[in-house]
Amino acid sequence: MAKPVPRPTPTEQPFYDACAAGKLVLQRCHSCGHALFYPRTHCDACHSDQLVWEDASGTGTIATYTVVRRGVSADFEAPYVIALIDLDEGPRMMSQIVGADPDGLAVGLSVKVDFAAWSEDITLPLFRLHPALDGGDA
């Protein structure tokens, strides 16, 4: 089984364009101020369609995670870490945590976004531990 590759809709395309440029962006509702992820056509808090893209801080905390020790296919090199990240802006994003010992992870640790090419056309956000905020190694 090959890696599944996202095929962005027009609504999602700005998110992937920003990832390709090394930036994490989120939609923010101009009516109520709510920050959204995943990309939508209407605010999931107030249903307004007045959504604007803005740069995100790229930082958040680990809400939960799982260590995959057996990849689903040869295209997924195990072990790897799938996590739910609570972004500082509010939305929760499913992603990967890389560059860390899986046994050293914990709910609540700070993470910072990074980016990796997933396919020729798609760059995805992933996260690394944020040592500046947790006193780890720089």
* Interface ranges with Zn ion (CB under 5 A): 29, 31-32, 34, 43, 45-46, 48
Min. distance of Cβ 56 from Zn ion in angstroms?
17
Q: For residues 32 and 106, which CB has a smaller minimum distance to Zn ion in the complex? A: 32
Between 41 and 66, whose beta carbon lies closer to Zn ion?
Answer: 41
CB of 39 to Zn ion, least distance (A): 14
CB of 60 to Zn ion, least distance (A): 21
Residue 92 to residues 64, 84, 135, Cα–Cα distance (Å): 10, 6, 24
Of 119, 2, 122, residue with least CA distance to 72: 2
Nearer to Zn ion, 28 or 95 (CB): 28
If the CB atoms of residues 31 and 110 are measured against Zn ion, the closer one turns out to be 31
Whole-angstrom distance, CA of residue 11 vs CA of residue 110: 29
- What are the backbone dihedrals phi and psi of residue 113, each rounded to the nearest 5 degrees, phi first? -70, 150
**Phi/psi class of residue 87: alpha, beta or left (left: φ > 0; alpha: ψ in -120 to 50)?**
beta
Q: Least distance in Å: CB of 49 to Zn ion?
A: 9
